[in-house]
Structures are given as structure tokens and as C-alpha cells.
Amino acid sequence: MSDKKAPRGTVKKLLRALRPYRGRLLFSLLCSAVNAGLSLYIPLLFGRCIDLIVGPHNVDTQGVKNKLMLSGALILISALGAYLAAAENNRVTQSVIRDLRNGAFRKIQILPLSYLDSHPSGDTLSRVVNDVDRFADGLLLGFTQFFSGVITIVGTLALLFSLSWQVALTVVLLTPLSLVTAHLIAHRSFRYFQRQASIRGSLTALTEETVGNLKTVKAFGQEENAGRRFDEVNGELKSASLKAIFISSISNPGTRFVNALVYAGVAITGAFSVLGVFGGGLTVGLLVSALGFANQYTKPFNEISSVFAEMQNALTCFSRVRELTDAPAEQPDPPEAAEIGRAEGNVELHDVAFSYDKSREFIKGFNLSVREGQKAAIVGTTGCGKTTVINLLMRFYEIDGGRILLDGTDIRDITKKSLRGNVGMVLQDTWLKNASVRENLLEGRPDASDEEMIATAKRTHAHSFIKRLPQGYDTVLGEDGGSLSQGQKQLLCITRAMLADPNILILDEATSSIDLATEIKVQKAFDELTAGRTCFIVAHRLSTVMHCDVIAVMDGGKIVEKGTHEALLAQGGYYAKLWASRSC
């Protein structure tokens, strides 16, 4: 997207986001109009007061009092209008921010894994949190200044024309200088603010990456390198921020200079009119009013230019958030997709093909049939495609060719929700939310009773360490499991999956972080809990898949051998070499 088109497209999207609140915006506009209109009328009253003071012994005292009392009342009404407009603007701003954040978070839930895999999580987090906050600041300032500014500019011009067309014409002729100055600066500042927001997202991603893996950084003595990388990105952010702020800050002194010219032009032209050079028409009092109008006319330009940096920053941040919300969502279910109940568990993969990079094949000619209640293992060296097959089974990625059938039905003809509702997953990378142990275990089955939950935890050998926690099952875990060991976190994830009671289980390195003694116990529990369920087991340790009904050996994205443990050993092929070396 070019720099010229970016602001225009962003503003259109912003107007669409404001559309649901047009009633509130209209009310705010009316209040701003009352505030601005009365603010313009009050200087006119003061000018009339001056004209009522003809000399020291010829003063219309009652007229002056009346106008001053009227001015006081109008000042109070004007202040009330300003308050109501500001309050309504604040409500609209916070409502838009709420909608924007909700939309961004909901969009994240339906984004394809390909998007999340290709975008740093820290940058995505920065868009939802930091960019939305900065957008809120700029939007509120924009609402506050823009409405009243436009009304003030139009109103002062109308009043100046009613007082003296020569004075008004002077203002009109000098105004384009201010507009051209602001436009030239705005055009360049948007580009710099865009770069600033992008680098800020990179800095957030780098910070999250370093903090989240600080143990590894320390273990390899990479503190200095991490600090150097942070300094480099932070330095880039400083440079981009200085350029953005410098360019945008020129707007304010530039417009103030033009405004000084406007004031001087009004004073000179008005003075000539009072002296009768232009045929008269202005009194001394009205000249004072005209000078007040000149100040009020130029004030919106000053205010708008002073918040222009915030507005440009806000538009840039808004465009980054909209890049997230406008990203293509996960491929939706077709209208004819069926909701299924509890599946029997017959799974067939026929000539499945898939590639991350469409110019290079990865999974090709993959064929595997697993009947209800069977245990199928997928083994092979790192990077051979084991986890990719699991992602295809769950429709986290869509296949490029072939078919995957569940109980004879193509999974693309089944809704994703009902498909995934039939499958329990335990992954090598554990995920636990910042909540109690109980809430984490009930994630997949909220209606389970305490007795069922505890019984399942005992069978997976998680109960013994859970009851040693400070509040047992009510202990609140920190982020990603807090201080629990990796093995304990994995046991909780196994318990959570088993409590959900799915008919199909996927275990992707589910016991990789558990000690050997506990693994033997858990394996026995697995044998009991998985009886009658269809299971897909991805494992590096071949000892965990010895008793599977079928073992698919993968290499280079395809199955090279298939059979039972004993049959594959008897073949003396690739699996036998893996078994002998225990390299996978």
C-alpha cells in the first residue's frame, strides 16, 4: 500500500467503525455547536459593551450590566455544552475501542494456523493492546478538537462577513497558507508513524521472546547478545520516533506563524475600516470583537495541528489493528457441512497431499486406515511430517489433495466444531490458563463432577501432586502453569483430555516430559483409559508405541513402512534401524 493511499483507506474504515454510534456523535456535534456558537457570540457582546461606553460621562450603565449578565449566563451554558460533548465523545471512543478489541480477539480465534505461525505473537499482542490504546488517545483528541474546530471556523467566518466583508476576505485569503502547511506535514508524518508502529511491534515481540525464554538465554550465556539485539531494535524505534515527532511538531509553529499573519491582517484591515478608509462600517467595539474572532478562528488550526501527531499515530495504529481484523479467516465450513454426534472412530486417510510452500510438496501419497478402537502410531525422525498429519486430521490446516474420512464421511463435510469435539488432544507443548487447577481440568468438560475429575486424576497419577498444592484443586496456577514442572503440567493436560471422554485421542509426544517411572504408570493408565477408543500416537520414544495395532513409519513426508512392532522388526528395514539406534 502506498503512503498516499494508506490514510484515505484507513479513514474510510474508521468511519465504518463509527457508524453504529452516529446518534451519539450527532448529539455530541449539537453540544459542540452550542459551545462553539455561544463562544463566538460572547465576544460580540463584549464589543457591544465597549460601544456603550462612549465617554467617561456618557455610559449606558444598564445596557452594559444587561450584556454582562447575558454573557455570564451564556458562558455557563457554553461550559455545559463543552462538558456534555466531551463526555459523549469519551463514551463513543471507549465503545469503539471495546468493539475493536473484541473484534481483534474474536478474529484471532478464527485465524488459520498459517497466519499465526507466520506472525510473531508479540507483534499480534502489540496490535491488540498497545496499538488500540494509542488509537484511543488519538481518537478522543480528534473528537474533542475536530467537531468544535469546524463549527468555530465556519461560525467566525460568518460573523466576520456580517461585520466587514473586507476583514473576512483578508482571513479567507490567508487561510490556505495554514491548510497547505498542515497538509504537507501530514503527508510525510504518516509514513514515519507507520514505521514507528511497526518497529514498536517488533520490540514487543523481541521482549516477549526473551522474557519467555530467559532460562535458555541464561543457560547459554546469551544475555549480552539479547541485550545487543534489544538495543538495536530500541535504537531503531528511537530514530523512527524522533523523525515522526519532529516532522509532525513542525505543524504547530508553522500554523501559528500563519495565524499571526491572520491576526495582523484583521487588525490592519479593521483599523482602516474604523478610520473610514473602506467606507466605514466598523466601530472600535466591533473591531475588538473582530480581533477576538480572529483569535478564535485561528485557535482550531493551532489545536488541530498540536494534536496532529497523535491523530497520525492513531490512524497508523488503527491501520495495524485492521490489518489483523481484515486478515483472511480460517476457511469456513460449507453451508451443507453436518454436525455430528459421538463418532465411532473409524479414520481413513486416502492419498493425502499437503505442502506449506505450494511450490514444494511435503506430505504426499499418505494412506492410513485406523478402525474403531485401534491404536495407530506415527513415528519417524524430526521434521518428517508426523505433527503435520495430526494438524490435517484436526483441520488446523486443509489438505491439498486426497481425502480424510471419519466414519466414512469426508471431514471437510463435517463442521470443525463437531469434528474437534470428538477428539481429545495432548500435545508436547502444554497449555494451562491462569486459573485454578479445577478450572483447567474442566476446560474440555465443564459439567464433570468433582468425583469424576478426582477419579480421572488418580488414574493419570496427577492426583498425588495436586493434593500437595497449597489449595489442592483450587490452587490458582500462574501463567502457563506457574511453578509446576513440565512433567506436572503435562500430567494435567493428559487428565484434562481424559476427563473430556472423547472417542478419538491424539497424543503428540504426550509423555515426553514425564520421568520414566511415572511414564510407565501413565502408560498403564493410558492402556486402561484408551480401551475401545481410536488413538493416534506421535512419539520419539519407540518403547511407547510397541503395543500399537499399527505403526506408520514416516520419512520425507510419506509412509515408508507400516505394520505392527514385531512385523516391522522382522522386515529389518527403516523401523528396525530406528529401533536399533533409538534415534527417534
Q: Report the C-alpha dihedral over residues 479, 130, 238, 224, rounded to 10 degrees.
A: 10
Alpha-helical (H) ranges within 250-374 are 251-274, 284-306, 308-325
Q: What backbone torsions phi and psi does residue 127 show, to the nearest 5 degrees? A: -65, -40
* Residue 499: closest CA among 471, 472, 460: 460
- Cβ count near 531 (within 10 Å): 10
The rounded distance, in Å, linking the Cα atoms of 315 and 205 is 22
Task: Reply yes or no on domain 347-581 having CATH 3.40.50.300.
Answer: yes
Strands 558-563 and 401-406: unpaired
Provide the 3-class DSSP secondary structure of residue 558.
strand
Model pLDDT, residue 245: 78
Q: Count the helices and strands in the chain (H runs, E runs).
A: 21, 12
How buried is 338 (Cβ within 10 angstroms: 0-12 exposed, 13-18 middle, 19+ buried)? Answer: exposed
Q: Is 137:18 a contact under the CB 8 Å cutoff? A: no
* Residue 551: closest CA among 566, 540, 564: 564
* Residue 110: closest CA among 415, 321, 318, 325: 325
**Grid cell for residue 259:** 495565524
- 95-325 against 347-581: fold identical: no
Model pLDDT, residue 350: 92
Task: Give the global pTM.
Answer: 0.61
Task: Reply yes or no on domain 95-325 having CATH 1.20.1560.10.
Answer: yes
Model pLDDT, residue 1: 38
Model pLDDT, residue 177: 73
The rounded distance, in Å, linking the Cα atoms of 208 and 120 is 10
3-state SS of the chain: helix, strand, coil percent to 5? 65, 10, 25
The rounded distance, in Å, linking the Cα atoms of 508 and 429 is 9
Domain boundaries, the chain: 95-325, 347-581
Q: What is the 3-state secondary structure (H, E, C) of 407-449?
A: CCEEHHHECHHHHHHCEEEECCCCCCCCCEHHHHHCCCCCCCC
- Series of mean pLDDT values for 10-residue runs along the chain (584 residues): 48 78 85 83 77 65 79 88 86 86 84 78 80 77 71 80 79 75 68 79 80 69 82 87 78 73 80 70 74 75 63 78 82 83 89 84 88 90 84 87 91 88 79 86 86 89 89 84 77 85 82 65 68 84 82 88 91 88 58
**Position 381: which residue type?**
T
